[in-house]
Structure 1
Amino acid sequence: MSSEKQATNGQAKDTTQQGPQFAVQRIYVKDLSLESPNAPEIFTKQWQPELHMDLGTKTAKLNDDAHEVELTVTVTVKVGEETAFLVEAKQAGIFTLSGFDDEQVRPMLGSYCPNLLYPYARQVVTDAVIKAGFPQLYLAPVNFDALYEQHQKELAAKAEEA
């Protein structure tokens, strides 16, 4: 954050932004793996795939304002009972959040940041699948707000049971 002074009719005016600040510092692939355990035989089968996708997020506080958010996308595609491929991508980002209270930071790290990372992860997965010789894969959009809300309800239910 920088503070600038602008002259206005001979008087200095402070233009430092006040209030909460959010910034994307970096987006990167943290890990990528693809397995095709039944290649090359799987390429001779009629392509009627069954897709299963799992999502996971992990956060780490790097300093007072910087957080790493890691989105894991795991896609398993089967043809009949045989696994055609399994691909896992860990797409991560470093995000700066300052001026937010804890109640605001949690949904940003749990929903907003994963929502920003997902298109990158989807592209990484799709590129890996194509390079492995399989037809292009289309991963549907994900409602991270709904997933975050569902997770919060599950945590609240567990807390009530305890």
Structure 2
Amino acid sequence: MADQGDTPDLTNASNGAMGGNGADTQPVAGVITQYIKDLSVENPKAPESFQWQDQPQLDVQFNIGARAVNQEVSEIELKISVNAKGQAGSFYIVELAYCGLVGMRNMTEDQKHAFMYAEGPRLLFPFARRVVADATRDAGFAPLVLDPIDFNGIYLQNLQNRQAESDTSIFGGEG
């Protein structure tokens, strides 16, 4: 029979495993679920558009939004708008609002913000890209496979731009 000294103490284990003692204070974030919130596919010039010979010019727009659902859950919304235009008009228009519920615990506000506007969209994008490809294919056109996006790089660039604007507004009026 083993004595108490032989029982491993998971709460103090060097491998970082946490026991059920309520001391789970490590930052944690992850996607709970993801879903299509809104999807619109228009083929406004069909059937004539299937006879057009020119290549469509693509106008692709992205927007990221986030809102708190409760203290530990937020919704990230990745909006993608695609308009494929030719000389005679639009081949197709796809508007997608692809969302994910994310859980975040034991994170600073800066960490939460970075997760909601950089890492979360990075995790959602491959699934939203598939929806856009399927929608364009189902509309009768070649599937539009969107290029990968560096959400982390865009996030950092936006932070730098905001910092530069903040510095300019503070010091720009003096001279």
* TM class, shorter-length: 0.7 to 0.9
CA distance in 1, matches of 2:122, 2:10: 37
Gap runs ≥5 in structure 2: 12-18, 170-175
Aligned residue in 1 for 2:6: 9
Greater CA radius of gyration, 1 or 2?
A: 2
CA distance in 1, matches of 2:54, 2:134: 19
Pair 1:97–1:136, CA change in 2 (3 A): same
Aligned pairs for 1:83-122 within 5 A: 83-122=90-129
Letter matched to residue 33 of structure 1? S
Give the TM-score taking structure 2 as reference length: 0.81
Aligned residue in 2 for 1:133: 140
Verify: 1:36 aligned to 2:15, yes or no: no
Aligned residue in 2 for 1:4: none
**What is the aligned-residue identity percentage?**
30
1:79 deviates by: 2.0
CA distance in 2, matches of 1:114, 1:11: 40
* 1:139 counterpart SS class: coil
Aligned residue in 1 for 2:158: 151
CA distance in 2, matches of 1:120, 1:52: 20
Aligned pairs for 1:41-52 within 5 A: 41-52=48-59
Gap runs ≥5 in structure 1: 1-6
1:147 deviates by: 1.5
Give the TM-score taking structure 1 as reference length: 0.87
Contact 2:130 2:145 in 1 (8 A): no
- Work out the number of aligned pairs and report it: 156
Structural RMSD (CA): 2.0
1:161 deviates by: 4.5
Larger strand proportion of the pair: 1
Question: Match for 2:26 among 19, 29, 40?
Answer: 19
